[in-house]
C-alpha cells in the first residue's frame, strides 16, 4: 500500500478501504491484475485469491461460473477466456459469524482493463459483511472494469454486500453479479455511486430458491454530467414465503440514470416491492423502469416510482426555520438519500454516510 500516492489513498478511503485495517477483519487488495494483499484474521472465514482457492479446494469449481453463466454476454465471455483469473473467494464456514466487515478493494491504475471474478460462499448459519470498494487512480483517464461476482447464501446464512464506487469520468464499469439464496437465508445489497463515471452497466439477479429467503437491494446513485448509469436489480421469488425489496434513490445533476427493477413471483406466499425515487437537480435524465411479474395468485407484488425536483415549499419551510436556501436544499437532499437499511452494521452505515457527505458538498 506504501507505493500508492496520497491522492490515490484518499480515493480508496472514500470507497471504504481501511488501509490500517481498523474495523476490518479481513482484507483483499487487487491493483489492476495484481493481488497485493490477502489477509483474514476471522475465525471460520477464509479469504483467498481465486486462483489459489480453485487449486486448494476442488469443490470451489462447483461455484465457479455457476450462478453467473459464462455465456451471459460479451463481458462474461471475455472474462471466461482469461487464462489467469483474478479476484477474491470468501468462504464462511458453517455457523461462522462476524459483524466486522471484510474488505475487498479493486483498484484500476494503469492497465486498460481490470477484470475480476469473485465468489462469496456463506455456508449454513454463517453471517458475513463484505464491503467492496472499487476505484480508479486519480490520473487514470480511460479504462474499463469488468467484474463477475457469484454469491451463495446457504441455509439460514446472511450476507451483506456493500459496494461503493469511486471512478473517473472516462471509466466504464460492467459488474455481472448473481446471488443464490437458500432456505431462511438473507442477502442484503447496498450500492453507492456518487462520483463521476463514464458508464456503469449492471443488473444483479438474486434467485431465492429456499423457503423464507429474503433479498434486499438498496442503491444510492448520483449521475453527474456525462455519466450514464444503467442500473437495475432483479429478484426471482422461486420458493414459497420468499420476499424482496428493491429500493433506489437516484439524483441527476446532468447525467443519465436508468433505474431498472424486476421482481418475478413464481411461487405461492411470495412478496416483492420496488421503490424508486428520483430527484432531478439539474436537467438530466432519470428513467425508472420497474417491472413486476407474477405467475400465480399467491404472489403479491407492487412498485412505486416518483421523479421530480425538490418542492419549493419544502425549501421555504426550512428557510423559515433559519436555513439558507443552499443549506435547506442540501438538508433535503441528505434526507432524500438517507435510506436506512435494517441489519446494516453501524460501521458500514457510517461508510455510506461518509460517501453521501462527500458528494453533498458538490451539490
Partner 1 sequence: MLDISDLHVSVDGTEVLHDINLHIGQGETHVLMGPNGSGKSTLLKAVMGFGGYAITSGSIVFKGKDITNVPIHERAHLGIGMMFQHPPAISGLKLGKLLVATSHMEKDAIEALAQSVNMDHFLDRDINVGFSGGEIKRSEVLQLKAQQPDFIMLDEPESGVDLENMNLMGKEIAALLEKDIHIVNRQRSGLIITHTGYILDYLEADQGHVLINGQIRCHGNPREILRVVKEKGYGECLRCKQM
Name the residues that contact partner 1, by CB under 8 A.
311-314, 316-325, 327-328, 331-332, 334-339
* Residue number, 93 or 331, with CB nearest to partner 1: 331
Using the Cα atoms of residue 76, residue 78, residue 81 and residue 87 in order, give the sign of their dihedral: negative
Residue 337 CB, nearest distance to partner 1 (Å)? 7
* Residue number, 157 or 332, with CB nearest to partner 1: 332
Query: How far does CA 55 lie from the centroid of its chain?
Result: 28
Residue 311 CB, nearest distance to partner 1 (Å)? 6
Buried residues in 344-357 as b, exposed as e (16+ CB within 10 A): bbebbeebbeebbe
SS3 content of the chain, % helix, strand, coil (to 5): 20, 45, 35
For residues 199 and 226, what is the distance between their CA atoms, to the nearest angstrom? Answer: 9
Using the Cα atoms of residue 232, residue 106, residue 179 and residue 270 in order, give the sign of their dihedral: negative
* Residue number, 149 or 329, with CB nearest to partner 1: 329
* Residue number, 84 or 313, with CB nearest to partner 1: 313
* Residue number, 109 or 249, with CB nearest to partner 1: 249
For residues 158 and 161, what is the distance between their CA atoms, to the nearest angstrom? Answer: 10
Residue 324 CB, nearest distance to partner 1 (Å)? 5
Residue 327 CB, nearest distance to partner 1 (Å)? 7
Residue 249 CB, nearest distance to partner 1 (Å)? 8
DSSP 30-73: EETTEEEEEEE-STTEEEEEHHHHHHH-GGGGGTTTSSS-TTSS
For residues 267 and 272, what is the distance between their CA atoms, to the nearest angstrom? Answer: 12
Judge contact between 282 and 253, C-beta under 8 A. yes
Residue 260 CB, nearest distance to partner 1 (Å)? 22
Look at the block and give the residue holding cell 423502469.
289
Nearest CA to 94 out of 61, 127, 66 is that of 127
* Residue number, 3 or 312, with CB nearest to partner 1: 312
* Residue number, 36 or 330, with CB nearest to partner 1: 330
For residues 233 and 150, what is the distance between their CA atoms, to the nearest angstrom? Answer: 14
Judge contact between 280 and 310, C-beta under 8 A. no
Residue 306 CB, nearest distance to partner 1 (Å)? 10
* Residue number, 41 or 343, with CB nearest to partner 1: 343
Residue 332 CB, nearest distance to partner 1 (Å)? 6
* Residue number, 124 or 314, with CB nearest to partner 1: 314
* Residue number, 3 or 321, with CB nearest to partner 1: 321
Residue 218 CB, nearest distance to partner 1 (Å)? 13
Look at the block and give the residue holding cell 461518509.
354
Dihedral pair phi/psi, residue 53, rounded to 5°: -60, -45
Neighbours of 267 (CB within 10 A): 20
Contacts of 270 (CB under 8 A, 6+ apart): 237, 240, 241, 242, 243, 298, 299, 300
Residue 256 CB, nearest distance to partner 1 (Å)? 23
Amino acid at each position: 500500500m506504501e507505493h500508492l500516492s496520497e491522492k490515490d489513498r484518499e480515493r480508496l478511503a472514500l470507497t471504504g478501504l481501511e488501509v490500517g485495517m481498523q474495523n476490518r477483519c479481513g482484507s483483499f487488495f487487487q491493483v489492476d491484475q495484481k493481488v497485493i494483499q490477502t489477509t483474514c484474521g476471522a475465525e471460520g472465514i477464509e479469504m483467498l485469491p481465486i486462483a489459489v482457492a480453485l487449486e486448494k479446494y476442488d469443490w470451489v469449481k462447483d461455484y465457479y461460473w455457476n450462478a453467473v453463466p459464462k455465456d451471459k454476454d460479451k463481458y462474461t465471455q471475455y472474462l471466461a477466456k482469461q487464462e489467469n483469473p483474478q479476484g477474491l473467494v470468501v468462504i464462511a464456514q458453517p455457523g461462522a459469524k462476524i459483524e466486522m466487515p471484510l474488505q475487498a478493494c479493486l483498484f484500476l491504475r494503469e492497465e486498460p482493463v481490470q477484470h475480476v471474478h469473485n465468489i462469496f460462499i456463506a455456508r449454513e448459519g454463517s453471517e458475513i459483511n463484505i464491503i467492496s470498494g472499487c476505484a480508479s487512480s486519480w490520473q487514470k483517464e480511460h479504462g474499463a472494469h469488468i467484474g463477475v461476482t457469484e454469491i451463495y447464501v446457504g441455509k439460514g446464512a446472511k450476507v451483506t454486500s456493500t459496494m461503493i464506487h469511486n471512478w473517473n469520468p472516462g471509466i466504464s464499469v460492467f459488474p455481472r453479479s448473481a446471488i443464490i439464496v437458500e432456505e431462511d437465508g438473507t442477502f442484503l445489497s447496498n450500492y453507492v455511486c456518487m462520483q463521476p463515471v463514464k458508464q456503469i452497466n449492471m443488473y444483479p439477479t438474486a434467485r431465492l430458491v429456499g423457503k423464507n429467503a429474503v433479498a434486499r437491494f438498496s442503491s444510492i446513485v448520483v449521475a453527474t454530467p456525462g455519466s450514464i448509469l444503467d442500473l437495475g436489480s432483479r429478484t426471482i421469488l422461486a420458493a414459497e414465503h420468499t420476499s424482496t425489496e428493491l429500493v433506489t434513490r437516484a439524483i441527476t445533476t446532468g447525467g443519465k440514470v436508468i433505474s431498472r427493477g424486476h421482481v418475478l413471483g413464481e411461487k405461492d406466499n411470495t412478496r416483492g416491492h420496488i421503490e424508486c425515487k428520483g430527484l432531478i437537480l439539474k436537467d438530466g435524465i432519470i428513467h425508472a423502469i420497474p417491472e413486476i411479474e407474477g405467475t400465480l395468485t399467491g404472489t403479491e407484488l407492487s412498485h412505486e416510482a416518483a421523479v421530480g425536483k425538490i418542492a419549493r415549499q419544502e425549501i421555504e419551510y426550512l428557510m423559515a426555520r433559519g436555513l439558507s436556501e443552499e443549506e435547506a436544499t442540501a438538508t433535503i437532499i441528505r434526507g432524500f438519500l438517507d435510506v436506512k437499511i435494517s441489519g446494516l452494521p453501524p460501521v458500514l452505515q457510517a461508510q455510506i454516510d461518509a460517501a453521501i457527505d462527500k458528494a453533498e458538498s458538490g451539490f
